[in-house]
Structure 1
Amino acid sequence: MTKTKATLIGFTAVLMWSLLALFTIGSAPVPPFQLNALCFAVGGLLGLMWTARRGFVVLREVSWKVYAFGTLGLFGYHYLYFTAFRLSPTAETGLIAYLWPLFIVLFSGLLPGERLRAPHVIGALIAFAGAAVIVLTRGGEAEGSVRGLVLAFLCALTWAGYSVLSRRLGAVPTESVTVFCLATAALSAAAHLSLEETVWPADASGWAAVLALGIGPVGAAFFTWDIGMKRGDIQLLGVASYAAPLLSTLALIGAGIASPSWSIAIAAVLIAGGAALAARASARVT
């Protein structure tokens, strides 16, 4: 598989994550950890069906340390994310949580064989500014807390660390993500039973939204992201990830849930410009 193909496959995860908000709204009133458990269970089952083609022996060959790493990455990120917004449901919390693409770009410079150029960093900062325009203009629902903001920062570090360290596990088959998903589903179920009241989807459309989440944004996306992180252009993928909040907003507009505004146009220019700068830098490196 070429680096370009792996990068394109990795970007499909960003496209799927852009539908996360739309499907999450459709899955209401299911609480976060219960929703997480259901979706990761669906994603894990899909992974089992995919792994069956190659044989489950490939899963037995993976070290338990890798499974622990992957599970901590997926569950740890979502646990910190949900808890941060529970404590501080503000735009600032969302913005801090969205530092992870910038951290991916910065951390990638520590990887052997990777060359981090100034345009990568500048492009990431420009794209982050575009994401900031979207997140901050959405506003928040309540006053935040310092603890929530700290957890949002840890959330961003967790996902960036998981993504970048996945590069060091290039020899580990992507099928291992199946176990990450199933283990995350089990831990999410435990968190749900401890912290939340069980509430099932209200109707068929709610169940369809849960299924769609498990198939895409909280399922296949983690498999394609794994391919992108291990074999693709990690700096370019980091910057391109800022397209997710923009595409998410456009999806909400298309569904009639949000309204178009000038801030979206400004964000689009910033994010596209940042990604273009990073892409140009990557082209020069190769």
Structure 2
Amino acid sequence: MDAQGTQADVIAEGDGQGAAAHSVGRLRATGIGAVAVLLWASLALLTTLTGRIPPLQLTAMAFAVGGLVGLPRVVRGGGALARGLPGGAWVLGICGLFGYHFFYFLALRNAPAVDAGLIAYLWPLLIVVFSALLPGERLRWWHVAGALVGLGGTFLLVTGGQGVHFRGEYLLGYVAAAVCALVWSTYSVANRRYPQVPTDMVAFFCLATAALAAVCHLLFETTVWPDGWQWLAVLGLGLGPVGGAFYVWDHGTKHGDIQLLGTLSYFAPLLSTALLVATGRADASWPVVGACVLIAGGAMLASADALRSVRRRE
């Protein structure tokens, strides 16, 4: 074999190794992002443990905890990363975190919880659809089909198999829930545009969200301070679903499989319900079992690319 042939083989081998490393890194980032889904599953349980603390006040307290958790890493960096942060990243991060929660609570105040929750949970499907707009991403039929099957499972879970009856007097709540879904899906997909922004910066987004939620709380709610174990529940929210989860979600949406993450997000309400059942705060029923089958099936369908990639490496 001549020298040129040998060099070509080396280059090809290097390209193959680079592609494999990229695939492994993408799969790892997807796994990190999926941790957010596990953390969000504890949201309902921890929220019930906080008693009658108003939602905006609870949001402010939990996000303050979430921001303070990540702040030491930013401080050790001397704040240089924050000074060089693009303006668009600031707007996206703050509007994404605060906007989602603001419109979600507005929806719950102006529409039945089942209706609002179902509309708001369109965001995983929207993530899958919007991902087609990203450079280098290709939307396949199994991505959309998996997301739709997962949405069907969520519908069954949220409604308990009883159906939903939309009414005109709740229009404001329905619109707010739709905006909520649009805000979070847009944030998750557009976050891919800022891969150079360190995940540590989520600390600033959390603190800004806490400040905005505190202002809204003072304007619209009456303060109710936690008592006893409720403080631990607030701390748990800040470390987990309303704080810590956004760090791993940030990494996953920037570097992982965004379409698979969107579909896996449908596991959050399912795992949340399972946790409530396990702790005696909800009853097991056939809709839960049916939702489990649909959501798991949808995730398997949407993850066809990742599963093939794993098989190729074996």
Give the TM-score of the pair, scaled to structure 2.
0.87
Aligned to 2:195: 170
Aligned to 2:255: 231
Give the aligned length: 284
Distance in 1, Cα, partners of 2:255 & 2:161: 35
- CA deviation after TM superposition for structure 1 residue 65, in Å: 3.1
Preserved contact between residue 91 and residue 138 of structure 1 (Cα < 8 Å): no
- 2:197 corresponds to 1:180: no
Q: Specify which of 85, 88, 98 is matched with residue 65 of structure 1.
A: 88
Distance in 2, Cα, partners of 1:138 & 1:85: 21
- CA deviation after TM superposition for structure 1 residue 66, in Å: 1.6
- CA deviation after TM superposition for structure 1 residue 54, in Å: 4.3
Distance in 2, Cα, partners of 1:72 & 1:169: 15
Unaligned runs of 5+ in 2: 1-23
**Quick one: percent identity of the two aligned structures?**
52
Distance in 1, Cα, partners of 2:89 & 2:161: 38
Q: Which is further off, 57-66 or 273-282?
A: 57-66
Distance in 1, Cα, partners of 2:264 & 2:64: 28
RMSD: 1.8
Q: Specify which of 291, 295, 299 is matched with residue 275 of structure 1.
A: 299
Preserved contact between residue 119 and residue 181 of structure 2 (Cα < 8 Å): yes
Distance in 2, Cα, partners of 1:69 & 1:206: 31
Q: 1:1-286 residue pairs with structure 2 within 5 A?
A: 2-137=25-160, 145-201=170-226, 203-284=227-308
The code of the aligned residue for 2:201 comes to: S
- CA deviation after TM superposition for structure 1 residue 284, in Å: 4.8
Unaligned runs of 5+ in 1: none
Runs of 4 or more above 4 Å deviation:
282-286
Superposed CA offset, 1:41-63 (max 9, x none): 00000010233454432222212
Partner SS state of residue 294, structure 2: helix
- CA deviation after TM superposition for structure 1 residue 175, in Å: 1.4
Give the TM-score of the pair, scaled to structure 1.
0.95
Preserved contact between residue 120 and residue 281 of structure 1 (Cα < 8 Å): no
Q: Which is further off, 60-69 or 74-83?
A: 60-69
Distance in 2, Cα, partners of 1:227 & 1:221: 10
Q: 1:46 to 1:123 in 2, by over 3 A?
A: same
Preserved contact between residue 75 and residue 184 of structure 1 (Cα < 8 Å): yes
- CA deviation after TM superposition for structure 1 residue 176, in Å: 1.5
